[in-house]
């Protein structure tokens, strides 16, 4: 793009006279369902506006400044949704800042619609313009249902990280729910919101054409205000299953406020013609910088006024929920959006030439085809996640992998737009219905077999996520399925492990044994229940018996493996522990052992302060039951305990407190809470009895244990694990300390399962 081919964007502070009808005389051809809906945001759909140069810009011309900003929003959404956390989050906010690209996208969409339909109504009259608006709403509706039909079954079948364990036992009912806009999902919720906004827009356009601007603004802001206090009663238009973020009653305020501003842009330009734009740029820039500073220093600022980490965490959640909640579009979030987007708009206006020369080639195509770009990024999200998971299995750090994937995704979408791939002309009668019809058929074909595994999947849905994380996710609109989308939680697919990692061939080549996560094995996996006097109820467990157990009389060492917070006793099965153990035993790489997988809920596997006695349940009830029921070797030297995350912490506590019961302990990414982080762990002496680091300072007998600790080099619990390591080292406690490549998630544990089993094999068989 040359300097003479780009005009400065129209500013809201510049008077913009009405265009003449002659300025819109040329025909138009919009090539795609998504592209047409997007293009009509800037032009009337019945005429084509030639791009003016800086010297010949006309008031009717397309505002490329808005295109640029929408392109920026598209890039931010791709980065935030595809590939995982990366350093690019510093520029996009990673869906954790006080505002996001979504707010800007919705606001700009309303602004552009106000600009365009004011001109349409002035030229063609209200009736034809409203018809055009409804046609566009239908286009958005078709786009929303098409993406939903394809994305949900694909995500559920492959159990991608955002999968919600939907019980698709009745595919027909599911399809009807999607068609009636009663079902949505992660990522496809934006098109659904957009469709609903377009369906409601004609009423606002009628009022605006009658000069009743105050009624539109009052109605929109009143609905928003009522929703802040009465979300259940004001949750219009209806409850939408799977909608965790874009609640219409709250988010419509961005769209309709933008609609009003776009409608009155000419008048506003006249009134604000003398506004000092550069001074406004400086003021908004300072406000933006202050928001960034508060965001970066929030933890330290809160810590100055709080007594302990638990209290600080509650203060943080209070502020997020009541001031900056994304899901509810709280007042603080609206203020932050005004500051940030006001600054960006003024920046683009004042620095248009250098910005357009440097980034116009990328941002303008993305902005002019924003809905197409968004749809393409939804289509890419699933396959990209599978690729990322597979590459991480090859020990490629996510910090390196994620930004590369995100840049490639943006570039790929840009190339699709430039190549006009799958651009369809919606004007060709029923052509625009082919995509949703085909998607519905594909959905039916995929969902029917998927529904056959729904009972087991649905059982997992009874597990509630950690409430602290659930609240944070609610603030930012993160989907909270049964597994809570956390690395500690259990994947729910016979085909993929956590994070989209492919399961082993053995796990998918035949019918599962007892659990859908275990393939054909030579040993035996059994599910059972035992009565716990400590908890006064039955508790489930899995047990793996090695090959030869059924027909033999020998005794075996036993390994107790504990799951993480919000996980189930199937978690280690899902990460391939049993498949790996069975194969390694068959190959002679490790000696036969019994593996027990108990259920521990959210207890940290200890007796809770003023709560249930999960510690007694594990150390006494479970161990005694296994000794009575199965042929296990006696003695603590043949009894190991290990676990991941919360389970790793619980394993350390039990081994340090009960060396006569457990002689071997493995802590895999232990989540070691500090005092006050978990109320049920107590404070003072009560906490010291439940803290592995405190126990390491006082329990001299732990020198007799075989101890293993590992943690990922990008694990948020690394610092606490290092404190434990330093404490053990200072007290001359022998232990194996391992900092491995990876994060706190399922892929890390799955990748290192063989390493764990070799440790347990060596430690359990030292005296055999």
Of 2-6, 21-25, 467-471, 630-634, minimum mean pLDDT range: 21-25
pLDDT higher than 60, residue 624: yes
Question: With bands split at pLDDT 50, 70 and 90, how would you rate the model's confidence at 607?
Answer: confident
Reading the block at residue 82, the tokens are 């595809």
pLDDT higher than 90, residue 255: yes
Residues 527, 573 contacting (CB under 8 angstroms): no
Give the residues across from 496 on adjacent strands.
Answer: 502
Compute the distance between CA of residue 107 and CA of residue 197 in angstroms, rounded to an integer: 11
How far, CA to CA in Å, does 26 sit from each of 20, 48, 126? 13, 5, 21
Mean pLDDT, the chain, as a whole number?
Answer: 79
Mean pLDDT to the nearest integer, 715-735: 89
Query: Residue 43: its pLDDT value, please?
Result: 39
Side by side, the strands of the sheet bearing 706-712 are: 524-532, 537-545, 594-598, 558-562, 639-644, 664-668, 706-712, 736-740
Of 111-115, 426-430, 675-679, 703-707, minimum mean pLDDT range: 426-430
Compute the distance between CA of residue 435 and CA of residue 145 in angstroms, rounded to an integer: 10
pLDDT higher than 70, residue 492: no
Query: Residue 56: its pLDDT value, please?
Result: 34
Mean pLDDT to the nearest integer, 400-414: 91
How far, CA to CA in Å, does 239 sit from each of 248, 415, 651? 10, 38, 43
Of 62-76, 137-151, 321-335, 665-679, minimum mean pLDDT range: 665-679
Of the candidates 647, 670, 656, the residue with the CA atom closest to the CA atom of residue 719: 670
Query: Residue 448: its pLDDT value, please?
Result: 61
Query: Residue 597: its pLDDT value, please?
Result: 95
What is the CATH topology of the domain spanning 502-764? Rossmann fold (3.40.50)
Of 103-107, 417-421, 496-500, 651-655, minimum mean pLDDT range: 496-500
pLDDT higher than 60, residue 369: yes
Of 429-443, 467-481, 482-496, 667-681, minimum mean pLDDT range: 482-496
- Every domain of the chain and the residues it spans: 3-454, 502-764
Give every CB contact of residue 58 below 8 A, 6+ residues apart in sequence: 19, 23, 52
Mean pLDDT to the nearest integer, 296-310: 70
Reading the block at residue 719, the tokens are 């610092």
Question: How crowded is residue 660: how many other Cβ atoms within 10 Å of its Cβ?
Answer: 10
Query: Residue 19: its pLDDT value, please?
Result: 37
Task: Quick: pLDDT tens for 263-293.
Answer: 999 899 888 888 888 999 999 999 999 999 9
Instruction: Report the greatest alpha carbon distance in the chain.
Output: 96
Of the candidates 104, 558, 614, the residue with the CA atom closest to the CA atom of residue 374: 104
Query: Residue 424: its pLDDT value, please?
Result: 65
Question: With bands split at pLDDT 50, 70 and 90, how would you rate the model's confidence at 141?
Answer: very high
In 483-550, which ranges are E strands? 496-497, 501-502, 524-532, 537-545
pLDDT higher than 50, residue 53: no
Task: Quick: pLDDT tens for 464-477.
Answer: 344 444 455 556 65
Query: Residue 461: its pLDDT value, please?
Result: 34
Of 209-223, 334-348, 712-726, minimum mean pLDDT range: 712-726
Q: How many residues does the chain have?
A: 768
Torsion angle (degrees, nearest 10) of CA 357, 362, 367, 372: 160
Label residue 747 exposed, middle or buried (CB < 10 Å: 0-12, 13-18, 19+): buried
Query: Residue 482: its pLDDT value, please?
Result: 30
Residues 153, 443 contacting (CB under 8 angstroms): yes
Give the residues across from 639 on adjacent strands.
Answer: 558
* Helix, strand, coil in percent for the chain, rounding step 5: 55, 10, 35
Compute the distance between CA of residue 446 and CA of residue 425 in angstroms, rounded to an integer: 28
Query: Residue 430: its pLDDT value, please?
Result: 66
Burial 533-570 (b: 16+ CB within 10 A, else e): ebbeeebebbbbbbeebeeeeeebbbbbbbbbbbbbbb
Give every CB contact of residue 192 below 8 A, 6+ residues apart in sequence: 144, 148, 181, 184, 240, 243, 246
Torsion angles phi and psi, residue 633, rounded to 5 = -70, 140
Which helix (H) or strand (E) is 92 found in, with range? helix 89-92
Compute the distance between CA of residue 260 and CA of residue 257 in angstroms, rounded to an integer: 5
- Location of structure tokens 């510093």: 90
Specify the 3-state DSSP secondary structure of 422. coil
Specify the 3-state DSSP secondary structure of 664. strand
Mean pLDDT to the nearest integer, 499-524: 52
Query: Residue 423: its pLDDT value, please?
Result: 78
- Location of structure tokens 């496809």: 188
Query: Residue 436: its pLDDT value, please?
Result: 81
Reading the block at residue 343, the tokens are 């600054």
Question: With bands split at pLDDT 50, 70 and 90, how would you rate the model's confidence at 165?
Answer: low
Specify the 3-state DSSP secondary structure of 307. coil
Query: Residue 307: its pLDDT value, please?
Result: 62
Question: With bands split at pLDDT 50, 70 and 90, how would you rate the model's confidence at 667?
Answer: very high
Give every CB contact of residue 169 below 8 A, 6+ residues apart in sequence: 451, 454, 455
Question: With bands split at pLDDT 50, 70 and 90, how would you rate the model's confidence at 57?
Answer: very low
Mean pLDDT to the nearest integer, 558-564: 94
pLDDT higher than 90, residue 71: yes
Torsion angles phi and psi, residue 407, rounded to 5 = -65, -45
């Amino acid at each position: 793009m040359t300097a003479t081919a780009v005009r400065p964007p129209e500013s809201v502070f510049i008077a913009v006279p009405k265009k003449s009808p002659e300025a819109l005389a040329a025909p138009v051809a919009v090539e795609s369902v998504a592209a047409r809906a997007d293009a009509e945001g800037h032009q009337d759909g019945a005429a084509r506006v030639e791009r003016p140069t800086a010297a010949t810009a006309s008031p009717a011309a397309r505002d490329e400044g808005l295109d640029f900003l929408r392109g920026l929003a598209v890039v931010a959404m791709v980065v935030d949704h595809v590939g995982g956390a990366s350093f690019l989050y510093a520029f996009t906010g990673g869906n954790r800042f006080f505002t996001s690209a979504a707010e800007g996208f919705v606001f700009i969409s309303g602004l552009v619609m106000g600009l365009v339909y004011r001109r349409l109504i002035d030229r063609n009259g209200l009736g034809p313009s409203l018809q055009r608006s409804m046609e566009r709403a239908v286009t958005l509706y078709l786009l929303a249902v098409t993406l939903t039909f394809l994305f949900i079954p694909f995500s559920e079948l492959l159990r991608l990280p955002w999968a919600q364990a939907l019980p698709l036992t009745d595919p027909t009912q599911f399809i009807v729910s999607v068609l009636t806009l009663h079902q949505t999902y992660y990522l496809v919720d934006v098109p659904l919101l957009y469709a609903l906004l377009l369906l409601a827009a004609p009423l606002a356009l009628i009022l605006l054409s009658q000069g009743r601007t105050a009624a539109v603004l009052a109605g929109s802001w009143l609905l928003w205000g009522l929703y802040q206090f009465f979300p259940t009663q004001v949750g219009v238009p209806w409850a939408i299953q799977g909608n965790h973020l874009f609640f219409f009653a709250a988010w419509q305020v961005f769209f309709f406020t933008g609609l009003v501003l776009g409608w009155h842009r000419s008048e506003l330009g006249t009134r604000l013609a003398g506004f000092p734009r550069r001074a406004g740029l400086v003021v908004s820039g300072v406000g933006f910088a202050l928001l960034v500073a508060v965001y970066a220093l929030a933890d330290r600022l809160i810590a100055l006024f709080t007594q302990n980490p638990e209290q600080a965490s509650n203060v943080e959640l209070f502020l997020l929920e009541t001031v900056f909640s994304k899901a509810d579009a709280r007042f603080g979030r609206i203020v932050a959006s005004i500051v940030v987007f006001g600054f960006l708009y003024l920046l683009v206006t004042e620095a248009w030439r250098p910005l357009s020369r440097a980034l116009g080639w990328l941002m303008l195509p993305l902005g002019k085809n924003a809905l197409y770009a968004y749809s393409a990024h939804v289509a890419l999200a699933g396959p990209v996640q599978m690729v990322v998971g597979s590459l991480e299995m090859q020990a490629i750090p996510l910090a390196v992998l994620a930004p590369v994937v995100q840049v490639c995704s943006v570039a790929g979408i840009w190339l699709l737009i430039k190549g006009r791939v799958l651009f369809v002309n919606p004007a060709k009668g029923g052509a625009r219905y082919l995509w949703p019809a085909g998607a519905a058929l594909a959905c039916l074909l995929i969902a029917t077999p998927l529904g056959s595994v729904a009972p087991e999947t649905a059982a997992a849905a009874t597990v509630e996520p950690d409430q602290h994380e659930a609240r944070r996710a609610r603030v930012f609109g993160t989907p909270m399925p049964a597994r809570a989308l956390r690395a500690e939680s259990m994947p729910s697919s016979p085909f993929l492990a956590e994070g989209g990692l492919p399961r082993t061939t053995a796990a998918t080549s035949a019918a599962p044994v007892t659990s859908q996560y275990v393939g054909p094995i030579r040993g035996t996996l059994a599910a059972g229940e035992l009565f716990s006097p400590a908890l006064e109820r039955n508790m489930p467990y899995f047990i793996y018996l090695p090959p030869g157990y059924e027909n033999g009389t020998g005794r075996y060492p036993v390994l107790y493996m504990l799951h993480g917070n919000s996980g189930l006793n199937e978690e280690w099965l899902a990460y391939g522990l049993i498949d790996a153990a069975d194969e390694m035993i068959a190959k002679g790489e490790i000696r036969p052992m019994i593996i027990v997988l108990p259920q521990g809920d959210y207890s940290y596997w200890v007796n809770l302060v003023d709560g249930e006695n999960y510690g007694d349940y594990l150390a006494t009830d479970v161990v005694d039951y296994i000794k009575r029921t199965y042929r296990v070797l006696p003695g603590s030297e043949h009894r190991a305990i290990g676990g991941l995350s919360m389970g790793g912490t619980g394993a350390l506590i039990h081994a340090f407190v009960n060396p006569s019961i457990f002689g071997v302990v493995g802590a895999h990414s232990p989540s070691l809470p500090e005092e006050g982080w978990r109320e049920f762990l107590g404070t003072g002496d009560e906490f010291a009895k439940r803290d592995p680091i405190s126990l390491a300072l006082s329990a001299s007998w732990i020198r007799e244990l075989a101890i293993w600790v590992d943690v990922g080099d990008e694990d948020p619990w690394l610092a606490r694990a290092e404190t434990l390591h330093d404490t053990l080292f200072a007290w001359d406690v022998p232990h194996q300390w391992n900092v491995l490549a990876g994060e706190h998630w399922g892929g890390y544990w799955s990748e290192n399962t063989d390493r764990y089993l070799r440790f347990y094999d060596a430690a359990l068989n030292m005296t055999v």
